[in-house]
Structure 1
Amino acid sequence: MMVRDGTPPRIRRFPWIFIGEIMITFGLVLILFLAYDIWWTTSAVRVRQEQAIKELRQSWGKSDAPEPSKSMESTPQATPRPKQSENHTSSGQEYARGLLLSDPIGIIRIPRLGKKWQATIHEGVHKRDVLDRGFVGHYSPTALPGMQGNVALAAHSITHGALFAHLNRLRHGDRIYIETQYRKLEYVVDGGPYITSPQDVSVITPVPRHSGFDRPGKYITLTTCWPPMTSSKRMIYWGHQVSVRTE
């Protein structure tokens, strides 16, 4: 003999309706947060980046005109004449040691990432002070642009400008241009993509491992989190300097 529950059906369903509404609300809040974190922060950073490029060029006494896309004509791997006002001393190493966290170093342009893609490079890879502000960060222990060694750079692949969101589009032979106050440098991509762990610092050493380089030179390393939305791995690309022009 079956005994029926005397609770009205609407009351019996109430807990499940309540739980369902909470889950829907939570989902909407999560979507709004992701929209803010991805779209709004990226849009705000792009405006900040444009202003940073303009202000940096003005501080150098230059116009805010983009670099020409053609390759610069000069001797490959040429050593630029040092300038006292750029290095502050006759030693580039001493100048590098004098840089403070988030100090601007130069402007990087990678045509493969977009016809108008360019960004300022700042000292350090601290998230709050550099990367989350939408800048390309320079690993402090590594060489500066134009110096012997490996110029290692990092940027976000998603949110906060997502400057390296399409880094995986790079192809061997692509050009990377870096402009400093007194120099314009050109690099050619010839290594990567290489996926590794965040703890693998061998990829940013003066002669980076897995890059294919086997002797000292003037190299560049680009790093970003991979895959997007995670920080479990790092995607790496390498290149070497092919020309430099002093002004």
Structure 2
Amino acid sequence: MRIPLVQHSTRRRRARYRRVLWSGAELLVTAGVLVLLLVVHQLWWTNREAKDGAERRVEALEREWGAADDSDATDDVIDDADDSGSGADDGSGRAPAHAPAQSGDGAGNGSSSAVTPRSSQAYAVLRIPRLDLRVPVAEGTSKQHVLNKGYVGHYTGTQQPGQNGNFAVAGHRNTHGEPFRYLNHLKKGDKVQVETRNATYTYTVDKILPQTSPRDSGVIRPVPRSLTKPAYGYDAPGRYLTLTTCTPEYTSRYRLVVWGELTSTKPKS
């Protein structure tokens, strides 16, 4: 009986195969860990970071508005004292220097500030009671400077809150704060509030477009109506709110659209 001899070259080849297999396994494990960390970063860390930042911005806006209101109240007391004395009218027919400027929306309805926010500036707070949502509204829809910070972005070129026309905004549905994660839960009759420095505007959800193309620009026109699904939208001018986000979840293939109409305006004293 012959005993097979194991050559040194055979042992070396087997050792190389084992090293290659071990190195490949290590690379696969490392790649899996990196992918897992990326998923955790996208789905958890960006949400936590953006939500915390958005909440801090809402609180900062509310403090800013509250401080401005306190200052206005102090000015009113001083103005009353001046009016009871030598008089606020200097005989020139001009308003006193401390008189507040008149505001309007440029359309003659006087329901919104005429001041245009700077790009990426947070200037309003959007509240949706059904979703327990409170989020800043910033000018523009830049991912880096607005949406990825957990804010809702105002489509530049559409109207401002309370104005005649369409106040249209967008927000992430997944990651980066995902303020519109549950936008599909809204129903007809739900309330959406937009608070600014000067007033709180309440819109009532009226129509919902479950899915449309990302290029369907008709949904944010002054009189919103879908270009791809013309059965959805409005026929007459009004004061509209449009909320848009991606659908289905974790994709950006389509857009979900929720529309509402202005039903009340509460100016701040």
Structure 2 gaps of 5+ residues are 1-5, 69-99, 227-231
Q: Which residue of 2 aligns with 1:45?
A: 50
Matched, 1:22 2:39: no
Measured on the aligned residues, the alpha-carbon RMSD in Å equals 2.6
The answer for unaligned runs of 5 or more in structure 1 is 64-82
AA partner of residue 113 (structure 1): L
Q: Per the alignment, do residues 94 and 163 of structure 1 end up closer, same or farther by CA in structure 2, a change over 3 Å counting?
A: closer
Instruction: Indicate the SS of the match to 2:48.
Output: helix
Q: Residue 35 of structure 1 corresponds to which residue in structure 2?
A: 40
Map Cα deviations across residues 7-64 of structure 1 (whole Å, 9 max, x no partner): 565543443343232122111111111111221121112221222111111221269x
Normalising by structure 1, report the TM-score: 0.80
- Alignment of 1:239 with 2:239, yes or no, is no
Letter in 2 for 1:238: W
1:146 pairs with 2:162: yes
| Residues 38-94 of structure 1, C-alpha deviations (whole Å, 9 max, x = no match) | 21121112221222111111221269xxxxxxxxxxxxxxxxxxx836559897799
**Aligned 8 A contact 2:219 2:233 in 1:** no
SS of aligned partner of 2:10:
coil
Describe how 1:132-211 pairs up with structure 2 within 5 A.
132-210=148-226, 211=232
Q: Partner of 2:61 in structure 1?
A: 56
Equivalent pair of 1:86/1:182 in contact (CA under 8 Å)? no
Structure 1 pair 88–53 and aligned structure 2 pair: CA distance change class (3 A): same
Q: Per the alignment, in what secondary structure is the counterpart of residue 6 of structure 1? A: helix
Count of equivalent residues: 222
Contact 1:146 1:185 in 2 (8 A): yes
Distance 1:89 1:234, change over 3 A: closer
Identical pairs, percent: 35
Code of the residue aligned with 2:261 in structure 1: it is H
Q: For residues 197 and 89 of structure 1, do their structure 2 counterparts lie closer, same or farther at Cα, with a shift above 3 Å needed?
A: closer
Which range is displaced more, 230-239 or 4-13? 4-13
Give the Cα–Cα distance (whole angstroms) in 2 for the partners of residues 141 and 49 of structure 1. Answer: 24
What are the superposed Cα offsets for residues 130-166 of structure 1, whole Å, 9 maximum, x if unpaired? Answer: 1111111000110100000011001111111111111
Q: Secondary structure at the match of 1:234?
A: strand
Q: Sort the Cα spacing of 1:57 and 1:32 in 2 relative to 1 into closer, same or farther, 3 A.
A: same
- Does structure 2 retain, via aligned residues, the 8 Å contact 1:168–1:193? no
Counterpart residue identity of residue 95, structure 1: A
